[in-house]
Amino acid sequence: MSKKHTFKHTKLDDDGDVGKKKTNESSGGGKITKELTEIYKERDGSLPDMTHFETRSRRRFAGAFATLFLAVVILGGVVWTALFVFQGGSSFSESDIIVSISGDEEIVIGNEARYRLRYRNAAGIPLSQVHVQVKYPDGFVFTGASLDPDSESNDVWTIGTLDTSESGFIDIFGVMYGDIDTEKSFRTFFTYLPSNFSSTFQKVDTAGVSIAYSPVILSIDVPDEAVAGVSMPVKIRVERNPAYSDIPIHMVAVEIGTESGFIKQKENHDASEFNDYRWLIENLDEPFELQVDGIFRNAQRSDSVLPIRVIGWREGQTRSDDAFVYAKQDANVTLQQTEVEINPIVNGAAGDITVAPGEPLTTSISVRNNGQQVLRDVQIRAVLDAPSYQRRSILHWAELQDDNNGDITGEQVSDDIRRGYIRWDKKHIPELAQLEPGEEVLIDFTMPIKTASDATLSDYPGSIVTLMADIQYRVGEGTQIISSVPIKVTLVSDLELEIRDQVDTQINGNDRRMIKWILTNSYHDLENITVEAEIFGATDLEEELADVPAGTILYDQESHRIVWTIEQMPVSVDVLALQFTLTRLERNPTQSQLMSKVTLKATDVATGEQILLFGDAISLNE
């Protein structure tokens, strides 16, 4: 209903103005009154009857707004109901899906362990498309499960559907390998689709495991104190842990770290062919005892840490694969500094080495002033004793490489040994005029060894070259001389292996390859020689047609390995050449090699040393 506004009627004067009251109104107020009268007066000058003046209500707009708001609320309610009522949201919570994985928290390296994966649907709706995947830690080898996995990687299981309140478990068995005193973890991914939902959900759980125990015991005996540059013994013992004697151990080795500057000089067991500070242990039926004598060189600190560890590989691995650590210990050694330190290094070693004629002796001599006084008029010498014949050394002095151009002199020590000297002083190396405390000088030179093209090597008696260094200097009014520990270099025979390959003929479109293995030797007699390689692809080798100059050959069809065995090769027989033919029976587009690298092993009769050489592989070049 319209509201009525009533206005009191006021009489106008003759000018059409509202009758003025006798007040003190300002002239401005009279002006406004006049303007309002002009707006509302009729043509005859009178004002309209305001008692019937009406205003229009604004509730029609408010009503429309209220209707729109109500529609939005109703629509929101419909959407909420569709999402959470009709799709089951009101009765489903991810917290009602229970997943866990548990097992041994502390394990023994190489021991089998069991881990149980549990799952339960505590929600009010069934689940479908249920899958379980387990991410195994590095070093875990799966051996079995209570439910067969789906994938070849043995880490995925399909559960299918899981009704309300239904539960289950999967037992997973495996062997853990890894570094001692490290932490690893299993991660479980449980994927499922709640009924009436269109997208899948995932639940994740993690189980931690500590590699706490080892089937191997490591014991070390290292001096608490040592003098930098002076030889010290390192004694190592590796044995089975009797508490875990039933755990299989496959391949084991012991290693000494060189981070602290430790350099070996000699040992009672041969080191690995590929790592001078790793010793392979064939088996641990009996304790393995190793002694390595070595030095700390250029020690800048008063203490050094010598890390020692036992490493291993699991079954199916090779020693070229990454190893894990069975046991480890750090030996803390307090180093006593000598006033002057002098150390020769030959071919990267501070200890005894083995070389063959033709190989150079790449030598570095380091001299360091560890004292508090200046060393003046320093002279440094390299002293080399070597086998000689007719007063000529087996060392190739004419081909010496020395950037500092030291002075060379020589003398005949005995009928079979010749000694050579290289001397450097301040005219060759200006820094030798005075060596300040803390300063170091490094001298490098290369000494070749003669080959069969330079001399008849079998004329030289003996097989040992000895290298040492000494330093002479003045301190105050006195002169002092200090010598290094000598390095023994054993010269083995100059055995060489050459591989030749030639395409002979085509037989029914297949290659026929003529292959030669050629051995040459002239320094020492050899024995127990084996040469072998692996043949790739479908091939045929006719042993009866092979040209065998000495020994026998055997081709194993199953392993595809060919082995040439020779009992002896005296220096009077300087060349042996085996020739055989391989016929490719079929072509394989993915095959790139016909034969692997050739491995040659032999024993040097004069020195008793083992010689190991490798020949080139044969490619197909297709």
* pLDDT mean by block of 10 residues, the chain; 622 residues: 38 40 43 53 56 48 58 54 44 87 94 94 92 94 94 92 94 95 95 91 94 96 84 94 93 91 86 88 93 76 86 89 94 84 90 92 94 92 96 96 96 94 96 93 97 94 93 87 89 95 67 90 96 89 86 89 95 94 81 90 94 91 61
Ramachandran category for residue 339: left, alpha or beta (phi over 0 → left; psi -120 to 50 → alpha)? alpha
pLDDT at 58: 45
Count CB-CB contacts under 10 A for residue 517. Answer: 22
For residue 265, give the amino acid letter.
Answer: Q
> How big is the CA angle at 485 (ends 483 and 488), to the nearest 5 degrees?
130
Rounded to whole angstroms, the Cα distance separating 588 from 622 reads: 10
Rounded to whole angstroms, the Cα distance separating 566 from 551 reads: 4
Token duo for residue 504: 């002979």
Residue given tokens 């026998």 in the structure block: 552
Q: Which of 440, 460, 441 is nearest to 450 (CA)?
A: 460
- Decide if 332 contacts 357 (C-beta within 8 A): no
Q: What is the per-residue burial (b if ≥16 Cβ within 10 Å, else e) of 13-24? A: eeeeebeeeeee
Residues contacting 371, CB < 8 A, separation 6+:
339, 340, 437
Residues contacting 93, CB < 8 A, separation 6+:
123
Rounded to whole angstroms, the Cα distance separating 520 from 453 reads: 13
For residue 520, list its beta bridge partners: 496, 575
Give CA separation, 515 vs 11, 306, 500, 620, in Å. 139, 49, 6, 13
- Decide if 565 contacts 536 (C-beta within 8 A): no
Backbone angles phi, psi at 347, to 5 degrees: 50, 40
Q: Which of 410, 406, 399, 394 is nearest to 522 (CA)?
A: 394
| Strands of the 201-213 sheet, one edge to the other | 106-108, 201-213, 182-194, 127-135, 156-162
Rounded to whole angstroms, the Cα distance separating 343 from 348 reads: 12
E strands, 324-477, in order: 324-336, 340-346, 353-355, 361-369, 375-389, 392-393, 407-412, 417-424, 434-435, 440-447, 464-475
